[in-house]
Structure 1
Amino acid sequence: MQASLLTTLLLPLALGVIMLGLGLGLTTDDFRRVAHYPRAVLTGLLLQTAVLPWVALGLALAFGLPPELAVGLMLLAASPGGATANIYSHLARGDVALNITLTAVNSVLCLVTLPLILNLSLEFFLGAGQYVPPPVRKIVEVAVIIVLPVAIGMTVRAFAPGFAARMEKPIRVLSVVVLALLIVAAVAQEWNTLLTYFAAVGLACLLFNLASMATGYAAPLALKLPKRQAIAIAMEIGIHNGTLAIFVALNVLDNPTMSVPAAVYSLLMFFTAAGFALWVNRGREPVPASASGG
């Protein structure tokens, strides 16, 4: 995969606009409530940093992936959730405030965990260490795309609650439309990549995605956390920041092959996340705008 207008400008811009809409449905009380459930935050972080890399390693070994593709899968596992996870959680009526909290904390943690996991992976699969610096620039971009629009939306909600409530449904519809357009554009752009590499890495990426979402949903429920928090955690660890992984592969490692698992995964997760959202909401009544924020 190559960096393009889609990944460098259109995608961040679209996600920023949608995050602004999500902020319209959130209040500071939503984040205070998250603070009362430290187990939810700790569970999400533990699954992301301590469990998923081992799942990725097991799949890379089980499928006998070529070394560069194996490192790419490990790079993907080390990448935190991003704005897309927050959007899908919103559509699935998960706890978006928990998603935003996890994304923020995980993005800071990955300044340490991503270089560590990636350096160990390079040593294990390629036999040669290569220092990978923390991706500070991309973490700042994630913060701008997520935190700033949400803060603006929450400010509007605080001073114009009637307007925010009226915008709830249009923003939800806009989210679906924008995601659909991004899927079509991404598939069209990466069609040749998919044809070339899908046979080699596609099934491993799909199983990693399904295992991530299943673990993210089942573990919180087993710990008796609320269903909305389980949905949020499943989306957070099942929808990785593929853009960050692609950036590191292309601009830090200078290895396009290592970006392939992230490119393939980023396409597959659109469909699996949509299916998961439909599954967890089967038979549920629509949630009033005033109750859908946190």
Structure 2
Amino acid sequence: MLTKMSQFATKTFLIWMFIAAIIGFMFPKQLAPLGSTVPWLLGVVMLRMGMTINPKDFKLIFQTPRSVIIGVILQFAIMPSLAYIIVKIFQLPPELAIGVILVGCCPGGTSSNVMSYLANANVALSVAITSVSTLLAPFVTPALIYLFAHEWLNVSFISMLWSVIQVVLLPIILGIILQLLFKRMTKKASEALPIISVIAISLILAAVVGGNKTHILQTGALIFLVVILHNVCGYILGYALANLLKLDRKDKKAVSIEVGMQNSGLAVSLATVHFSPLAAVPGAVFSFVHNISGPILAKYWSKR
């Protein structure tokens, strides 16, 4: 029963995102206070990732390191560069510019693995790229943020580094330790983890939408345009460069999805802790957008 519920929660993920966004708009005053819990909720998602990481996932790094290295490099090269270019083209105000760049500098989202499966892509490669980019994120993400957004920043590198370590690295390490020490328990718990992740991500989206309802309404059209452009160009450039580097079709699809789908929850968390509420808006909108575009792209590729 629990497995069926988890499968249902995963398959209907997009519906829950819609519901969460609508609830955020309808009850902003009630949900805005939840904004302070965003780092904790993201920590729960990362803990789940740590509990499900399998040592076999990393075998691919040694078996076919070229594909994994290409995927990770493209992940951290394309999206931050695209974010900076888009910010400059649209001349966004500082808070929104920081928010867009935060999204671009984050690692791949965990839902990208599900999309790779649905797209009939190389799921093992997708999981390896997500795992490696997420483990590198505590060091690479703050560095990229400073590289691309230093003209708008007034936060120390160390404080941002520590935030990413707390929200990403420590929960993943804890999850791996729990998996090693309590294999049977974590195996049973893993059946409920997709449900917990969907609930946590839905609460993050509802809290951010509720807390930023006014800002979203004021900048809605522009932010949606910027985020959709960022997301779609990520897919296109990820696939095009993977094709240029002679990866096979399944690998190209996996890399494209990894590049286009970001851990926007981390961007929201960093914006909430270190910047203004307006800086969290691009991350919230990206969460909504890539959970629509991802399934559409996956369905298109699966049919072909």
Please, what TM-score do these two structures have when normalized by structure 2?
0.69
The alignment status of 1:97 with 2:124, answered yes or no, reads yes
Q: For residue 222 of structure 1, what is the aligned residue in structure 2? A: 244
**How many residues were matched structurally?**
263
Give the distance between the partners of 2:250 and 2:46, measured in 1 at CA.
22
The one-letter code matched in structure 1 to 2:99 is G
Q: Contact 1:56–1:208 (CA<8 Å) still a contact in 2? A: yes
How big is the shift at 1:261? 0.9
Match of 1:257 among 265, 275, 278: 278
Correspondence list, 1:162-201, <5 A? 186=205, 190=209, 192=213, 194-201=216-223
Q: Contact 2:228–2:289 (CA<8 Å) still a contact in 1? A: yes
After superposing on structure 2, the runs of 4+ consecutive aligned residues of structure 1 that deviate more than 4 Å are 1-20, 144-152, 178-185
How big is the shift at 1:229? 1.8
Give the distance between the partners of 2:249 and 2:179, measured in 1 at CA.
23
Structure 1: any 5+ residue segments left out of the alignment? 161-169, 284-294
The alignment status of 1:207 with 2:236, answered yes or no, reads no
Match of 2:166 among 105, 121, 137: 137
Q: Contact 2:109–2:130 (CA<8 Å) still a contact in 1? A: yes
Match of 2:150 among 112, 123, 126: 123
Give the distance between the partners of 2:178 and 2:69, measured in 1 at CA.
25
Give the distance between the partners of 2:293 and 2:127, measured in 1 at CA.
21
Q: Contact 2:38–2:269 (CA<8 Å) still a contact in 1? A: no
Q: For residue 14 of structure 2, what is the aligned residue in structure 1? A: none
Structure 1's 70 and 88: CA in aligned 2 closer, same or farther, altered over 3 A? same
Give the distance between the partners of 2:78 and 2:87, measured in 1 at CA.
15
Structure 1's 90 and 143: CA in aligned 2 closer, same or farther, altered over 3 A? farther
How big is the shift at 1:2? 6.8
Q: Contact 1:31–1:98 (CA<8 Å) still a contact in 2? A: no
How big is the shift at 1:103? 2.1
**Alignment RMSD:** 3.8
How big is the shift at 1:31? 4.5
Q: Contact 1:83–1:146 (CA<8 Å) still a contact in 2? A: no
Q: For residue 243 of structure 1, what is the aligned residue in structure 2? A: 265
Moved more, 203-212 or 31-40: 31-40
Give the distance between the partners of 1:208 and 1:117, measured in 2 at CA.
17
Deviations 1:167-212 (A, max 9, x none): xxx99xx979x86996699469726254333223211111000011
The alignment status of 1:268 with 2:293, answered yes or no, reads no
Structure 1 counterpart SS, 2:246: coil
Q: Contact 1:19–1:83 (CA<8 Å) still a contact in 2? A: no
How big is the shift at 1:112? 2.6
Give the distance between the partners of 1:19 and 1:264, measured in 2 at CA.
26
Structure 1's 87 and 18: CA in aligned 2 closer, same or farther, altered over 3 A? farther
Match of 1:35 among 62, 71, 74: 62
Give the distance between the partners of 1:140 and 1:83, measured in 2 at CA.
14
How big is the shift at 1:245? 1.1
Structure 1's 37 and 49: CA in aligned 2 closer, same or farther, altered over 3 A? same
Give the distance between the partners of 2:166 and 2:293, measured in 1 at CA.
29
Q: For residue 80 of structure 1, what is the aligned residue in structure 2? A: 107
Deviations 1:214-239 (A, max 9, x none): 12223223323222222221222211
Moved more, 262-271 or 5-14: 5-14
Give the distance between the partners of 2:180 and 2:121, measured in 1 at CA.
19
Match of 2:72 among 45, 49, 57: 45
Give the distance between the partners of 1:131 and 1:149, measured in 2 at CA.
33
The one-letter code matched in structure 1 to 2:296 is G
Identity of aligned residues (%): 25
How big is the shift at 1:85? 1.8
Structure 2: any 5+ residue segments left out of the alignment? 1-31
Q: For residue 57 of structure 1, what is the aligned residue in structure 2? A: 84
Q: For residue 22 of structure 2, what is the aligned residue in structure 1? A: none
The one-letter code matched in structure 2 to 1:202 is F
